[in-house]
Structure 1
Amino acid sequence: MTKKIHQTDMAPAALGPYSQAVSVGNLLFISGQLPIDPTTGKMVEGDIATRTHQVLANMRAIAEAAGANLDQVVKTTIFLTDLGDFQAMNSAYATHFPAAPPARSTVQVAALPLGSNIEIEAILSL
C-alpha cells in the first residue's frame, strides 16, 4: 500500500517533523490537533468548549483536504490536561458528531504542546 501525505493551509502547520495527515489504504490518520487558529497561527482564547470547536474545525479542514469529512471518523483520542473539563468538552464535541459518533478514548495528560489544554487525533475510514 502507498502512503500519501495530506496538507492544507486551512489548518495549522505541523509543529515538528510530522504530517497533518497520512492515508494508507482506506484509512486516514489525522495527527493531534491543537486549538490553533490557522489564520493567525495562535492558540484561540476561551474556554474548553471554544477550544474544542477550533480543534474540530482544524480536523474538518484536514479531512476535507484529503477528500473526506467528519462523518467518516471511526476513532478519536482526546487528550485533556484537566478531566474537570470533560463535560464541557464533551458537549462541544457532540455537536460535531450528531449521529453515529466515532469510538473514542479520553485521557488526562500532564502537559500538551504550546501549553494547550486539549489535543485531539483521529482515524477516518475513506
Structure 2
Amino acid sequence: MRDRVHVLSAGPWEPIIGYSRAIRIGNRVVVAGTTAIQDQGVVGEGDTYKQSVYVLKIIEKALASVGAQMSDVIVTRIFVTDMSQKEGVVKAHREVFQDVRPVTTIVEVKALIDPRLLVEMEVEAVLCE
C-alpha cells in the first residue's frame, strides 16, 4: 500500500467536518476546497481578487508541505458565488498559473460555508518522479 500523507492546516472546519487540507498518495496530491478564512475572519471580504490570492497562498503552502509546487498542478476547480465577479478570481489564477495552464473549471454556486466567502478553490497535482 502506498504511503498516505495528510496535511492539516488547523483551519476551523477541518475538525468539524473531518477532512484534511491535502493528501499525498505516491506522486498524486489533492488539496481540498480552500477559502479565505483566517482566524475565524475572512481575508479580503467583498473582494474576489484578494480572496483568491489568499486562497492560492494557502494551496501553495499545502502543496509545499508534501514536496509539491504550483507548477505540479494539473487541475484547478473554482467555485464562485457570483459569476459576474469572476474577473478578480481569473486575474489571481492567471498570475499563478499562466505558464502551468492546468485544466480548470469555474462554476457559480449558490453559497459557500460562510456567506462572506466569494470563492473556493481546490487543486490536484502530480509530481513527476
TM bin (shorter chain): 0.7 to 0.9
Match of 1:79 in 2: 79
Contact 1:78–1:120 (CA under 8 A) maintained in structure 2: yes
In the TM superposition, what is the alpha-carbon distance from 1:41 to its structure 2 partner? 4.0
Q: Percent identity?
A: 24
- Unaligned runs of 5+ residues in structure 2 are none
Secondary structure of 2:18's match?
coil
Q: Secondary structure at the match of 1:113?
A: coil
User: Any gaps of 5 or more consecutive residues in structure 1?
Assistant: none
Partner Cα separation in structure 2 for residue 67 and residue 36 of structure 1: 24
Equivalent AA in structure 2 for residue 25 of structure 1: G
RMSD: 1.6
CA shift, 1:100, in A, is 2.4
Superimposed CA distance per residue, residues 72-111 of structure 1 (whole angstroms, 9 cap, x where no aligned partner) = 1100100001111122210121111131221100111111
Q: Which residue does 1:106 correspond to in 2?
A: 106
Matches within 5 A, 1:1-126: 1-8=2-9, 12=11, 14=14, 16-37=17-38, 40-46=39-45, 47-115=47-115, 116-126=117-127
Structure 1 contact 22–29 (Cα < 8 Å) conserved:
yes
In the alignment, the residues of structure 2 paired with residue 41 and residue 57 of structure 1 have an alpha-carbon distance, to the nearest angstrom, of 17
Residue 8 of structure 1: CA displacement? 4.2
TM-score (norm 1): 0.87
Does structure 2 retain, via aligned residues, the 8 Å contact 1:78–1:105?
yes
Q: Is the 8 A contact 2:35 2:120 kept in 1?
A: yes
Identify which range, 20-29 or 53-62, moves more after superposition.
20-29
The whole-number CA distance in structure 2 between the counterparts of 1:69 and 1:109 is 28
Q: Is the 8 A contact 1:8 1:65 kept in 2?
A: no
Q: How many residues are aligned here?
A: 122
CA distance in 1, matches of 2:70, 2:79: 19
Equivalent residues of 1:80, 1:108 under 8 A apart:
yes
